[in-house]
Amino acid sequence: MSAEAGPRCALGFDVGARRTGVAVGNSLSQSARALAVLEHPDDRPDWSRIDALCQSWRPHILVVGEPLTLDGEEQLATHRARRFAAGLRERYALPVILVDERSTSKEANRRFADARARGAARRRDAGLHDAIAAQIILERWLQAGMPGPPP
């Protein structure tokens, strides 16, 4: 996503066992914001909601958090995220980038606690944690110079 191509939109995903957080960002501002939390209690993506988000935002690239252990090893969640990324790639024919998401949950917890302290969030908004984690994943990728395949 070079600057010469103009601003590019990206959707970021934090894939969990029961929920997936979604964020949107762009290459011009190199910032992202939490967008949605998609429930999937049967461990299957909510493709209809993802379809709607992709239609609404028209992303040029999709970024998925890759949950590795603190030692950089794979785990069950790593395989779930990779399956999800493969599904995105197949369904939307867009570039899909995997980004190391280590420590994003801690950072999301800190940001949520800060928002609560400022009065910008309430305890009932705790479900937004997953969307905040997706925002952090997307911010990391944007601020790292958007590495990966060209759009």
Q: Which residues contact 64 (CB under 8 A, 6 or more apart)?
A: 12, 13, 15, 81, 84, 85, 88, 96, 97, 98, 99, 137
pLDDT at position 151 is 45
The residue written with tokens 């069950």 in the block is: 76
pLDDT tens track for 15-53: 988 889 999 999 888 899 999 999 987 878 999 999 999
Mean pLDDT of the chain: 84
pLDDT at position 1 is 42
Which of 45-53's residues contact partners 24+ apart within 8 Å by CB, and which partners? Answer: 45/20, 45/84, 45/87, 46/20, 47/87, 47/91, 50/22, 50/88, 50/91, 53/11, 53/22
Alpha-carbon dihedral of residues 9, 130, 137, 100, nearest 10 degrees?
-140
pLDDT at position 135 is 93
Q: Distance (Å, rounded) from C-alpha 13 to C-alpha 3?
A: 23
Delineate the domains of the chain, giving CATH numbers in brackets.
3-143 (3.30.420.140)
Higher pLDDT, 115 or 98: 98
pLDDT tens track for 56-106: 999 999 999 999 878 888 888 899 999 999 999 999 999 999 998 877 777
Both structure tokens of 114: 């800060």
pLDDT tens track for 120-135: 656 555 567 788 899 9
Helix, strand or coil, per DSSP, at residue 151: coil
